[in-house]
Amino acid sequence: MTSFHPYPANATISNTEISDVMLDTLKQLTVEEKVTLLTGRDFSSLAAVPRLNIPPIKVNNKTTSKIPGTSCSNSSLARR
């Protein structure tokens, strides 16, 4: 299985394009796949959806964790 990248890694993507890809992907998910994504594969990751080429997604519930290459002050979550 290849990783899920609808655009090349060096592409400039607008928020609208990201939203469009996300909404299109959500529309393609079955109810069972959506429930599986919500319940997770195990304690630290969400299940893959091979049919849509979506890999398992690692999650982290630590308050001190951060995404590599970002800081809390510049993350989109901090601006909400």
Q: What are the extents of the domains in the chain?
A: 15-65
Cα 15 from chain centroid (whole Å): 14
Q: Is 55 helix (H, G, I), strand (E, B) or coil?
A: coil
pLDDT-wise least confident of 18-27, 28-37, 46-55, 57-66: 57-66
Looking at residues 34-38, what average pLDDT do you find? Answer: 88
pTM of the shown model? 0.54
In DSSP terms, which residues pair with 58 in a beta bridge? 45
Q: Is the pLDDT of residue 1 over 70?
A: no
The label of the residue with tokens 């590599």 reads 68
Tell me the mean pLDDT in the region 61-76. Answer: 56
CA distance 65 to 67: 7
How confident is the model at residue 8, as a pLDDT?
Answer: 65
